[in-house]
Structure 1
Amino acid sequence: MRLLFLNGPNANLYGLDPKGTYGRENFQDITNRCHAKALREGVTLDFRQSQSEGELVEWIQQARPEGPAPAAGIIINAAGLSYTSIAILDALLAFPGPVIEVHMSNIQKREPFRHRTYTSRAAVGSISGLGPLGYELAIEAMVGLVNA
């Protein structure tokens, strides 16, 4: 089973401000945690990050069953694009498998504009506020959804 895990703009900056919203672990640490979790779950994880909305849309489309990189499910932290990108929403809605939205911070405790996301409209469920643990839980949940 292959899972696609997408991260949007600025996710690569996680951990650079240890007192900040996203904690102390840097993006490479989180990437390593996710690959270790996927290994324990017995799945292949394609973990990617992009600053570009168009590249994220392209990767989602490529994950379709007829695409060059089919995936059983998509986990996405579209970051700031979660609140603005109808293009990402449309691509996720066109994906036939399950989608899980994940956020490092609790978006409900942040600024009001972060309380609603476009990406959640395509998601089976959302995980937020648990930091890197939420990323691992999203992988575990996706394996359960695909195997159900």
Structure 2
Amino acid sequence: NSPTPTPEDNIQAGGEVPDALKTLILQAAIKIADIGHLYASHDVHIKWSERLEEEMWRQGDVEKQRSMKVSFLMDRDKPGVTKSQPGFVDFVVRPLFETWVACFPKCQTLMDRVEANYHYWKLKEQEQIAEGAPAETP
């Protein structure tokens, strides 16, 4: 009596994948592509993180001008995306990529790059604490 193969086993073996799982895989692939700067080289990741933060702050500026409540991470007077990267990786990115790599082991390099960029943000956070500034998390 052999154990029932997991979806990961079927994918890795090139076996049949149910349509619902195909849809889920495509949705995950789109999300992974959307946050692609997280697994880019360090320099590219930093540039895109800064661009993303500026784009979000501009949206917050428009919301302020329209007397709207400023959306989360979009207020340039508060910590932004670059200050929240460790938490974003911990709670969103890492679980997504761990699952992805379980299905597609050849993508481990992407996870390794995510981890390298994550460590950059953690080090930056620790440096701020050492300088006496509180860790800025939204």
What is the TM-score normalised by the length of structure 1?
A: 0.27
- Structure with bigger strand share is 1
- Structure with bigger helix share is 2
Larger radius of gyration: 2
